[in-house]
Structure 1
């Protein structure tokens, strides 16, 4: 289910690794232009997948979770199944790419 706002605090890596089912972990910031442009695509793709958790994490210097996933550009979408990465998209430009990555976690 799409989350419009970033989490107030990023979860710990061990918490993410223990997540059940399918999850999209989105790294970015509220002020990032690339992130803002990607939001309609992300929201559209997730609308049909209420069973997929969406965690929107504000990233930046000193943010351990983003570093543990090797995030360098925003937005970065990490697609997890049972806490394990199965796909990744950096700066998605098309809803179809997000749909294809979602298919890998479902």
Structure 2
């Protein structure tokens, strides 16, 4: 079973100040696309053990998702040392996410 999306959201300033690799996974627990992509995202993350993964519950009025201009779920944003380096929207295979992690 995958980890649920968290309604608790870090501030954008915290994200921008985070060293290393951070993976933001925007979506909701009730989203069918999110449930289908979850095992693919987790499989890709297994190849990047140093990456920190945060599942962010997104929706109307959620500031963090709006600051990253998230439009569809799931959206996976890869951040390195506070800068976005890759983005995958509705991944349909683990290799797609793995390539983003290698950016």
Runs of 4+, deviation exceeding 4 Å: none
Q: How many residues get paired? A: 102
| Deviation string, structure 1 residues 37-74 (Cα, Å, up to 9, x no partner) | 00110111111221000010000000000000000000
Secondary structure of the equivalent of 1:74? Answer: coil
Aligned alpha-carbon RMSD (Å): 1.1
Q: Tell me which residue corresponds to 1:93.
A: 92
Whole-Å separation in 2 of the counterparts to 1:76 and 1:8: 16
- TM superposition score normalised by structure 2: 0.95
Q: Tell me which residue corresponds to 1:80.
A: 79
Structure 2: any 5+ residue segments left out of the alignment? none
Structure 1: any 5+ residue segments left out of the alignment? none
